């Protein structure tokens, strides 16, 4: 019996060490470009956030959680990643809600314009999914979002990134850290020619099937957990067609009874200048982000009924 136990223990120890080595190798070798936004979310204390922002790069560049805390006392995090389309947002939301129970979820509505896709490019999908902790939600996300022939590359990212051994730097061995709570600061200013015409808010085009269904899934999930939602669309220089898609979120928001802040129609109120406050066509720079954060913060405070604080 002792002999068998010794063999069993030895085997378990062997595989445990091997697993640890593989996990560490995976960490060292994987592409850490833009990883911190998703990865560092796990460093937040559980159930410590008041507001959870979920969305694409528009959120990362448009909302500064530090300013929100400084000015409104709201602790928040930008659970966002580049080109994160609404299906990805749905799994990001589920992942975030495993650790946090916020007073409000702010959902990026700009994903409504991404079309009938379940992920951005493979690189962007890796940025999000590789930085998820291993869980049933991660597996569900991979099985839902990724084509069958590529799933193994997300379940075992080493398949993709093992070739990075040639380009390893010291930073790859260091822990991923971020002090911006998911925000990305752009200081550059977009070169703006003619400003796009702002179309009437009633001018809409039907949403594609995939973004609409996942937007509804997000809203259903929050409703099921009794968490209020705010839909948000940060200012952009996009064309009229994209604006029409953003406007198409209005009837869904009305159907669910959730507010929808489409900031394209609040530029004057915010004091937002599209010529000076944008970093590029779709993202705010630091000046723009400060204005958006202040405006959204005030709106949230009002929404949460905390104006007196």
Partner 1 sequence: MIFTSLKFLTFAVLTLVGYFALPKKLRWIWLTALSVYFYLCVGLKYGVFLLVSLLSVWLCGLYVKKGRWVLVLTLLVNLGLLAVLKYAAFAVTNLNRLPFVAIPVPEFVAPLGMSFYTFLSVSYIMDVYRELSEPQKNPLKLLLYLSFFPHITQGPIDRYETLAPQLFEGHSFDYARCAVGLRRALWGFFEKLVIADRLGLLVDPIFAAPGNYNGMEVLIAIFAYAIQIYADFAGYMDIACGLCEVLGIRLTENFDAPYFSASVPEFWRRWHMSLGSFFRDYLFYPVLRSGWMRKLKKKVGDRKKANKLATVIALAVVWTATGIWHGSAWHYIAWGMYYGGLIIASELIQFKRHLPKPLQVLRTFLLVLFGYVIFRSDNLARAWEILVQLTRFGDSGANLGLDTPDLIVACVATAILLVHDILRIRGKRPGELVAALPLPLRWVLVYVCVLSVVIFGVYGPEYNAASFIYFAF
- The site for partner 1 (CB under 8 A) is made up of 7, 10, 14, 17-18, 21-22, 25, 29, 150, 152-153, 156, 158-160, 162-163, 165-166
Coil vs helix vs strand at 185: coil
Q: Which is nearer to partner 1, 24 or 213 (by Cβ)?
A: 24
Minimum Å gap between C-beta 28 and partner 1 is 9
Q: What is the DSSP letter of 13?
A: H
Query: By C-beta, is 44 or 153 nearer to partner 1?
Result: 153
Q: Contact, 55 vs 178, CB < 8 A?
A: no
Residue 165 vs residues 94, 162, 172, 204: alpha-carbon distances, Å: 33, 6, 10, 49
Closest approach of partner 1 to the CB of residue 161, in Å: 8
Residue 155: C-alpha distances to residues 52, 95, 122, 172 (Å) = 26, 16, 13, 20
Which stretches does DSSP call E strand in 175-302? 229-233, 260-262
Cα–Cα distance for residue pair 93/87, rounded to 1 Å: 10
Of 230, 235, 231, nearest to 267 by C-alpha is: 235
The single residue listed with the structure tokens 């597996």 is 139
Residue 113 neighbours by CB under 8 Å, 6+ apart: 211, 238, 242, 245, 246
Helical spans, DSSP H, in 146-188: 151-155, 158-161
Give the shortest CB-290-to-partner 1 separation in angstroms: 41
Judged by beta carbon, residue 30 or residue 291, the one nearer partner 1 is 30
CB 205 within 8 A of CB 73: no
Which C-beta is closer to partner 1: that of 43 or that of 163?
Answer: 163
Q: How many Å apart are CA 154 and CA 251, to the nearest integer?
A: 35
Nearer to partner 1, 25 or 101 (CB): 25
Minimum gap (Å) between residue 166 Cβ and partner 1: 5
Query: Least distance from C-beta 107 to partner 1, angstroms?
Result: 32
Q: What is the DSSP letter of 98?
A: T
Taking the least distance from each CB to partner 1, the nearer of 139 and 298 is: 139
Closer residue to partner 1, CB minimum distance, 19 or 254: 19
For residues 134 and 197, which CB has a smaller minimum distance to partner 1 in the complex? 134
Cα(119)–Cα(49) distance, integer angstroms: 27
Q: How far is the CB of 163 from partner 1 (least distance, A)?
A: 6
- On whether the CB atoms of residues 277 and 190 are closer than 8 A, the answer is no
Least gap, CB of 42 to partner 1 (angstroms): 25
Is 176 strand, coil or helix?
A: coil
Query: Could you tell me the smallest distance in angstroms from the CB atom of residue 93 to partner 1?
Result: 29
């Amino acid at each position: 019996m002792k002999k068998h136990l010794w063999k069993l223990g030895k085997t378990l120890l062997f595989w445990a060490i091997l697993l640890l080595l593989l996990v560490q190798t995976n960490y060292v070798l994987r592409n850490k470009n833009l990883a911190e936004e998703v990865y560092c979310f796990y460093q937040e204390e559980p159930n410590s956030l008041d507001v959870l922002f979920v969305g694409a790069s528009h959120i990362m560049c448009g909302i500064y959680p530090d300013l929100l805390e400084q000015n409104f006392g709201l602790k928040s995090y930008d659970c966002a990643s580049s080109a994160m389309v609404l299906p990805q947002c749905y799994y990001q939301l589920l992942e975030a809600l495993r650790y946090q129970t916020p007073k409000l979820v702010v959902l990026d509505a700009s994903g409504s314009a991404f079309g009938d896709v379940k992920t951005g490019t493979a690189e962007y999908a890796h940025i999000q999914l590789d930085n998820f902790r291993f869980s049933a939600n991660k597996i569900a996300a991979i099985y839902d979002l990724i084509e069958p022939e590529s799933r193994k590359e997300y379940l075992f990212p080493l398949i993709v990134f093992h070739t990075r051994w040639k380009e390893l730097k010291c930073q790859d061995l260091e822990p991923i850290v971020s002090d911006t709570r998911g925000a990305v600061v752009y200081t550059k200013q977009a070169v703006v020619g003619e400003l796009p015409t702002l179309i009437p808010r009633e001018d809409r085009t039907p949403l594609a099937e995939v973004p609409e269904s996942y937007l509804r899934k997000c809203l259903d999930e929050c409703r099921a957990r009794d968490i209020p939602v705010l839909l948000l669309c940060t200012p952009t220089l996009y064309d009229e067609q994209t604006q029409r898609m953003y406007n198409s979120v209005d009837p869904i928001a009305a159907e669910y009874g959730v507010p929808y802040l489409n900031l394209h129609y609040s530029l004057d109120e915010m004091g937002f200048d599209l010529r000076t406050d944008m970093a590029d066509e779709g993202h705010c720079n630091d000046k723009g982000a400060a204005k958006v954060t202040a405006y959204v913060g005030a709106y949230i405070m009002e929404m949460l009924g905390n104006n007196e604080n």
